[in-house]
Every structure is written in structure tokens, then in C-alpha cells.
Structure 1
């Protein structure tokens, strides 16, 4: 396989324009974009709640995007290096809310932290929707 492979990760729950923008910016850094979608169990452990959409639904949404070449389930935050190496990634892209937290994989690939889209947050959207119902 030739070209530069970029890998990124996310929950991608309640998919929004911020997700589209980060995936487009990640794809622009290489020739192939691989996306790890957080497993339902991983979301419960890191966020304290299950995602709105199941991992299969979230993977289907991400897989449908033209900039995405491959999608897989991310089972563990600690396995980033294994995912990077296993998918032959040259670049790991994370949101800047994770800045510095994945520098430990910089020995196997370049690590890039992209700024988040201002004023767009999945948690904020969920809270807004929940507030409308009360």
C-alpha cells in the first residue's frame, strides 16, 4: 500500500459539522484516512454514559463519508500505538483537547492535534436537546 496513511479516533455520536470538518482536515494530511470509532463500552467507561447511537450505527455513519477509507472499532484508549502500527499509519490526528496526551506514540508516527470547531460540541447538543424536553 502506497501513500501516506492518517489515523484518527472519536465517538462520532450525534454526528455534526465539527465531526465533518475534523475528518476532512485529517484526510487532507494524507492519501488514506482510517477512523477508529469508540466502542460502546469504551464510551461508558470514559464518559459515564452510553452513546446515543450504537457503535454499529456510528461506524455506518462515518464509513459513508467520502473522505473516510476504512473504519474499525476502538476498544481501548491505551491501544493507540497498536492501532497506529496495525493500520500502517504515518500520522495520528487528535483534537487539540487531547494536546500532548498522545505524544508517546510519536516514535512510530507523526502526531498532529487539530483545533476543534468552535461552538460545536456533542455534549452541548445533547444537553440542548434534553433541555427542550423539560
Structure 2
């Protein structure tokens, strides 16, 4: 059974998230997803996620092509996660292109193109702009 692994925050879940997970799931029989912990998100992005780690894990776990979800607590543990889940392929968005090539001795590394003009950060900015306009 070919196992695919990917990682992300998956905050303010949107069509870009759905598409990358769907494409990742099509590469194998089992898709395992690491969802960044709240603390890791603060470390990476300098802000708390909109939705808690439990809510984000629940959203991702509810997708039909996701076989399992776990809490990613450290960027430095990616190799451990790959080995723990016996992943054959690591999938990431192409905004990370090249950054995970160091794991190519453990598994195949694939970068998928991001969905154009879609990002959680831009969605949050649009919401803030609309809130400011109302006030």
C-alpha cells in the first residue's frame, strides 16, 4: 500500500487546501496529513491560527481521501513523521519547492502547484478589510 504524507496549517480551509489534498490522495492508497499545532503556527507565521488545532484536524480528517491525521509539533521532526508513517511520498505545495529535497533519501518528494490567487493570508486580509469598512 503506497502511503502519501503531507503537512500544513489548513487554517480557514479553502479550495486550495482541498485541491492539494485531493491531488495528494490520488498518488497512493493512503493519505496521512500532519496538521501544524497552534504553537508551531505561531512560530512559523507569527500569529495564532483562526481555528484551533483540534478544529483544523477535524476538518481535514473529515475529507474522504484522508486516511489519517496527526498533530505536527515541530518542523524538525518531518523525517521522524515520514518514517513513523512509512511514507512513500511527501507532497508539499510549490511555495516550499526545494526545501524538502533533503528527505528524498527517505521517500519521493513531490511539489504541487498552488491554486492561483488563493491563500489563507489573503482571505484573512479581505475579511479584515471588509470589517474595517463596516466600522
Query: How does the TM-score come out when normalised to structure 2?
Result: 0.97
Deviation at 1:78, TM superposition (A): 1.2
| CA distance in 2: counterparts of 1:13 and 1:75, whole angstroms | 16
Query: How does the TM-score come out when normalised to structure 1?
Result: 0.98
**Equivalent residue number for residue 32 of structure 2:** 34
Number of positions where the alignment pairs a residue of Structure 1 with one of Structure 2: 132
The counterpart of 1:131, out of the listed 106, 129, 132, is: 129
- Secondary structure of 1:8's counterpart equals strand
**Equivalent residue number for residue 47 of structure 1:** 45
| CA distance in 1: counterparts of 2:131 and 2:22, whole angstroms | 33
- Secondary structure of 1:112's counterpart equals strand
**Equivalent residue number for residue 66 of structure 1:** 64
CA RMSD across the alignment: 0.4
| CA distance in 2: counterparts of 1:48 and 1:4, whole angstroms | 35
Deviation at 1:10, TM superposition (A): 0.3
**Equivalent residue number for residue 111 of structure 1:** 109
**Equivalent residue number for residue 74 of structure 2:** 76
| CA distance in 1: counterparts of 2:106 and 2:46, whole angstroms | 31
Write out the 4+ residue segments of structure 1 that deviate beyond 4 Å after TM superposition. none
